[in-house]
Structure 1
Amino acid sequence: MTVAPALVLDGVLTAEQLEATGRFILAQQEEDGAIPWWRGGKLDPWDHVEAAMALAVLGHDEAALAAYAWSARTQAVDGSWPMEQCRGVVTEAASDTNQCAYIATGVWHHHLVTGSTEAVHRFWPTVERAIDFVVRQQRPGGEVAWAVDVARRPDDFALRTGSSSVLHSMVCALEIADVVGVRRPDWEDAAERLRTALVRRPEAFADRSRYSMDWYYPVLGGALRGEAARAELAARWDDFVWPGHGVRCVDDNPWVTAAESSELVMALDAVGESASAATLLAEIQHMRDDSTGGYWTGYVVADDATWPEEQTSWTAAAVVLAVDAVTRTTGGSGIFRDHVLTEEECEADDAAS
């Protein structure tokens, strides 16, 4: 286990509280390395990786490596994973492109946190197969089909949230490729085309505008930066942010969630809105359960009620990653801030070609 710097959010979360959150996530991990939503429950490949990332931040890098080893062992020949399984039994055999791409973000994050290239070299074949699978689902306009069905046919629409996350994972995969000494110009081209679609072709994506993720993910995933990103966040701030409570999952429901709130914290941090990020992170601690170290998924403000009554590994993980981002504690704290494809890079590549 890495001797990691103690994660603390001054005046809000102590090192002991965050260590308890690490133990909560560890308690959900199964013997084979899988990290389901809760022990014995369902697992999806994105949330599994998110939980592994949080474990690395909290110094449990061997447990994180075990999670990535599980991903490598269970990857399909085509580079994908099923959307959902439970204790090795597939319960949803379709594959979500965003979920499959996220292994690249996790592996690159592990390198940034630990300073070791072990995971980068060990899991490069897994990352390569996963990103190749995702790139094959890219549509002519640059957007990425959100999923493939059981027959391996891509869906005929893309999602802004998923494609934004895929873009970030592609960038992380390119970072990994650079470390292992491999050039993937096809990935570079795919990433540039995807970013262009996200920035210039909003009509290419299915309308999910009632969801807060659709609003902030182009910033979190790095498609938008600078004034464009800040303007995007400001445009719907009042629709989604409930002062003192957190971020709504959808704009027409009085339900705030800890994970979406934490992701917005990281998006704010990525564009230099540090004060707003820290305030929001402090405000969502009402969803913490100090008896377990975990976090409730959400809270219905109008009813003063926790809902659903569940504490998931990925919700706790999102909070941990947000704390790391705003405190800049580990080398992985800038995973969403620093590892993005910029407009300048796209223009430079266009000029070179």
Structure 2
Amino acid sequence: MKIPSIPGILTVEQVRQTGAAIAGMQEPDGALPWFPGGKTDPWDHVESAMALSASGYLNPARAAYEWSAHNQRDDGSWPMEIRQGRIVDTGVDSNFCAYIAVGVWHHYLISDDDAFLWSMWPTVRAALDRVLLFQRPDGAFRWAADYVTGAMFDAALITGNASIYSSLVCGLKIAARVDDESARRAVVEWERARADLAGAFAVPAESFLPPSEHSMDWYYPVLGGVLRGEAGRVALDAEWDRFVVSGLGVRCVSHRPWVTGAETSELAIALAAIGDADRAAAMVASIQHLRDPDGSYWTGLVFSDGKRWPVERSCWTSAAVILAADAISRSTPAGGIFADLGGAAVPAQFPS
């Protein structure tokens, strides 16, 4: 398979090295923790698995998805945090549960493995069906629930809902490929949920908590496929100077002198999704100061004093860099997965 690269920024060999660094953090049972000995959450685990697929490490990626299947609970959810096989936080995060659909579709696009898709279909179906229980009458998804009592936290978050949008779209693509009776039933339910969520994004001030100071609330509606075309460009340009630090990356939080590799790479993916490959590549170039000689990436840099913080090379930061390189280069068959999410009927004046 062809491995992602960005001329003058990342070579194929460097991307392979980063993939190897991620594989080196994988636990024997297939889990992909934040860093060796750290926590595993179901969203970042999937993102890291996607990067393994994109960098040619298909067997470790498959082991990661098998971990997801084996650790899914009877209600279709996963614990928010597992540490070396021990559940630390039993809570249910709707976005964390939904993201398995993006990962499975991504791996299938690269591997063209029908057996894999069929084997993971029950996991995807159970996860998205569980997520649908979080949807409010206005179309937005509540962000979390207590696993023991089932009580839900009613707040709906912009970033989480934008990510759920991408998960529903990928789930629909999986169901169309499986095309059995259960998949055809799922299509009806999931498409209705996707359309209702698009409606919530059309009136965001009424549907979600106000945008926070975190950059994710700014770019995720584009990354998740809700905003595209002119609406996406307007949204990204509106807050560019607030979050982007020229030559260093993207602030995680608007008022702090702290740039992070994952947020910068995700912005690059969002830019690539609306056809702005030049600015996307510039974003990836800007965070190469976070690259370690072993190919992994440090999480962030406090640029006011030149110190890396937190002092960790996170699995998911390395993963986001690989996925950004693929989104820009379209090297693998999954390089356009985020660009192909479509776009809801959302006004161009969507607030950041």
SS in structure 1 of the partner of residue 82 of structure 2: strand
Alignment: residue pair count? 340
Report if aligned partners of 1:112, 1:332 keep a CA contact under 8 Å in 2: yes
What is the deviation of 1:112? 1.0
Do the aligned residues in 1 keep the contact of 2:33 with 2:45 (CA within 8 Å)?
A: yes
CA distance in 1, matches of 2:114, 2:216: 32
* Aligned: 1:251 with 2:254: yes
Match of 1:349 in 2: none
Aligned to 1:23: 20
Conservation of the 8 A alpha-carbon contact between 1:296 and 1:315: yes
Give the alignment partner of residue 169 of structure 1, picking from 167, 170, 185.
Answer: 167
**For the residues of structure 2 that align with 1:142 and 1:34, how far apart are their CA atoms?**
33
Does structure 1 conserve the Cα–Cα contact (< 8 Å) formed by 2:272 and 2:328?
A: yes
Write the letter of the residue equivalent to 1:338.
D
1:83 partner amino acid:
M
What is residue 234 of structure 2 aligned with on the other side? 231
The answer to which of 193-202 and 18-27 deviates more is 193-202
After superposition, give the CA deviation of every residue in 1:270-302 in whole Å (9 maximum; x if it has no partner).
011111111111111111112x21101000111
- Give the TM-score, by structure 2 length: 0.94
- Give structure 1 stretches of 5+ with no counterpart: 345-353
In the other structure, the counterpart of 2:291 is 288
The aligned counterpart of 1:217 is 220
Match of 1:7 in 2: 4
Post-superposition Cα deviations, 1:192-248, rounded to whole Å, max 9, x if no partner, equal 111111232333211243110001000000111111111011111110011100000
What TM-score, normalized to structure 1?
A: 0.94
Counterpart of 2:108, as a letter, is: H
How far does the alpha carbon of each residue in 1:126-149 deviate from its partner, in whole angstroms, 9 at most, with x for none?
Answer: 000000000111011100001111
Structure 1 residue 194 and structure 2 residue 197: aligned?
A: yes
1:111 Cα shift? 1.0
Aligned residue identity for 2:326: D
Checking the alignment, whether the CA contact within 8 Å between 2:202 and 2:345 is kept in structure 1 is no
Moved more, 179-188 or 124-133: 179-188
Distance in 2 between residues matched to 1:224 and 1:265, nearest whole Å: 15
Residue 99 of structure 2 aligns to a residue whose secondary structure is: helix
Q: What CA RMSD, in Å, does the superposition of the two structures yield over aligned residues? A: 1.2
Q: Percent identity?
A: 50
In the TM superposition, residue 342 of structure 1 has moved relative to its aligned partner by: 4.2
User: Of 331, 334, 346, which residue of structure 2 is paired with 1:332?
Assistant: 334
| Offset, 1:88 | 1.5
**1:252-275 deviation line (CA, Å, top 9, x unaligned):** 101000000000000000011111
Task: Write the deviation string for residues 168-215 of structure 1: whole angstroms up to 9, x where unpaired.
Answer: 000000000000002221110000111111232333211243110001
The answer as to 2:144 corresponding to 1:147 is yes
Q: Does 2:124 align with 1:99?
A: no
Shift, 1:59, TM fit: 1.0
Contact 1:221/1:340 (8 A) holds in 2: no
- The Cα of 1:10 is off from its aligned counterpart by 1.1
**Gap regions ≥5 residues in structure 2:** 347-352
Residue 52 (structure 1) shift: 0.4
What letter is aligned with 2:323? L
Aligned: 1:132 with 2:155: no
| Contact 1:199–1:223 (8 Å) recurs in 2 | no
**Alpha-carbon distance in 2 for matches of 1:54, 1:9:** 15
Deviation at 1:339, TM superposition (A): 2.5
Letter in 2 for 1:124: W
Q: Equivalents in 1 of 2:37, 2:65: separation in Å?
A: 18
Residues 317-348 of structure 1: per-residue CA shift (max 9 Å, x gap)? 0000000110110001011101235449xxxx
Counterpart position of 1:71: 68
Alpha-carbon distance in 1 for matches of 2:316, 2:141: 24
CA deviations on 1:25-76 (whole Å, 9 max, x unpaired) are 0011111111111222110000000010000011111111111111011101
Secondary structure at the counterpart of residue 299 of structure 1? strand
Among 39, 44, 56, the alignment partner of 2:41 is 44
Structure 1 contact 199–224 (Cα < 8 Å) conserved: no
**Equivalences for residues 294-313 of structure 1 within 5 A:** 294-313=296-315
Q: Distance in 1 between matches of 2:326 and 2:39?
A: 27
Residue number in structure 1 paired with 2:178? 180
Among 115, 118, 139, which residue is 2:115 paired with? 118
Q: Distance in 2 between matches of 1:233 and 1:6?
A: 28
Q: 320, 323, 348: which one pairs with 1:321?
A: 323
The amino acid across from 1:108 in the alignment is W
Shift of 1:8: 2.0
